[in-house]
């Protein structure tokens, strides 16, 4: 019998479907020190963002000779040493389609929250304050949204932004996409200079570090809004805080942090920052789709 380890949770209907299909499913989180030994007895492991599958864990798992598949329930696979695993004959898959709409909707939500002071106004009203005159915001319609990275989530974000009357521009390493002529392609520097809102949709660069730092903030318009639901570390948190305090960045929407759970309470408590605890894909619909996609991958691999 094929044995599946689910370390960070999975939608119950997907687990039920796997068990009905004859797979043994174990739901248990292991510490990094324990995970490698545990994986000796499993053919597949399903992880989210909490579990890191690094080279030492892969080496230990290989001693059992059973592990053939690692699945990341979500988009990014930076918590897995993908190339190393694949070099050892272990397939690595993810579920890139399942949560795109959910993350895009939250990105738009953070734009509204930052531009209209939704978070801080909510908090101060609960303190008995009526600070109506302090919270004059901005409309999204007519503003330019710059997307750094133009994958599935960015495209879903662009679709929703366009419906709100925003002008969408984008940049990506591989260049312009011909089928998206309704959006303007430009290089990163031009995008930073032209955008009223900037939303990040790229992986973390382990070699070069943050994509947005002091230099990039200097290129941006005064009063820009920055949205990051991609990966913690993409934005230098100190540089962001400086830009917020100087007024260079009028507001920000942040769902991901360099360290999670974050200890950077200066950003969390900043009155012009809308924050969420890495919940981009945390919708009922996305979790159902992720479960369905995981089931499909497992059945396809072990048929």
Query: Would you name the residues annotated as active-site residues?
Result: 231, 260, 278
Give the 3-state DSSP-derived string for 208-247, with helices as H, strands as E and coil as C. CECCECHHHHHHCCCCEEEEECCCCCCECHHHHHHHHHHC
Task: Compute the distance between CA of residue 224 and CA of residue 108 in angstroms, rounded to an integer.
Answer: 15
Pick the closest to residue 146 from 212, 101, 237, 208 (CA basis). Answer: 212
- Show the tokens assigned to 167: 């002008």
Going by their DSSP bridges, the two strands 44-47 and 69-72 should be labelled as parallel
From first CA to last CA, the distance across the chain in angstroms is 12
Question: Is residue 249 packed enough to be buried (19+ CB in 10 Å), middle (13-18) or exposed (0-12)?
Answer: buried
Query: Looking at the DSSP assignment, which residues form a beta bridge with residue 254?
Result: 228, 275
| CA–CA distances in Å: residue 96 to residues 142, 175, 294 | 30, 21, 11
**Is the bond preceding 261 in cis, omega lying within 30 degrees of 0?**
yes
């Amino acid at each position: 019998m094929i044995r599946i380890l689910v370390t960070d949770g999975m939608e119950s209907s997907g687990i039920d479907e796997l068990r009905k299909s004859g797979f043994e499913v174990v739901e248990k989180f292991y510490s990094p020190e324990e995970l490698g030994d545990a994986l000796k007895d499993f053919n597949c492991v399903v992880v989210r963002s909490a579990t890191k599958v690094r080279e030492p864990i892969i080496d230990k798992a290989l001693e059992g000779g059973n592990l053939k598949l690692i699945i990341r329930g979500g988009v990014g696979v930076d918590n897995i040493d993908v190339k190393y695993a694949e070099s050892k004959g272990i397939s690595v898959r993810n579920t890139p389609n399942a949560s795109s709409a959910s993350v895009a909707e939250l990105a738009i939500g953070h734009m509204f929250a930052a531009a209209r002071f939704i978070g801080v106004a909510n908090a101060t009203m609960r303190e008995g304050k009526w600070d109506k005159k302090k919270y004059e915001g901005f409309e999204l319609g007519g503003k330019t949204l710059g997307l750094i990275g133009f994958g599935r989530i960015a495209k879903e974000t662009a679709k929703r932004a366009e419906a709100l009357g925003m002008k969408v521009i984008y940049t990506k390493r591989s260049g312009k996409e011909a089928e998206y002529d309704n959006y303007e392609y430009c290089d990163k520097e031009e995008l930073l200079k032209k955008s009223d809102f900037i939303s990040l949709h790229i992986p973390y660069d382990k070699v070069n570090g943050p994509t947005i730092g002091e230099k990039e903030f200097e290129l941006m318009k005064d009063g820009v809004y920055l949205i990051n639901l991609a990966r913690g570390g993409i934005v230098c948190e100190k540089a962001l805080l400086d830009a917020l305090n100087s007024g260079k960045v009028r507001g920000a929407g942040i769902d991901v942090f360099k360290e999670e759970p974050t200890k950077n309470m200066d950003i969390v408590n900043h009155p012009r920052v809308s924050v969420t605890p890495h919940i981009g894909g945390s919708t009922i619909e996305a979790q159902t789709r992720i479960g369905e996609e995981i089931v499909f991958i497992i059945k396809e691999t072990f048929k």
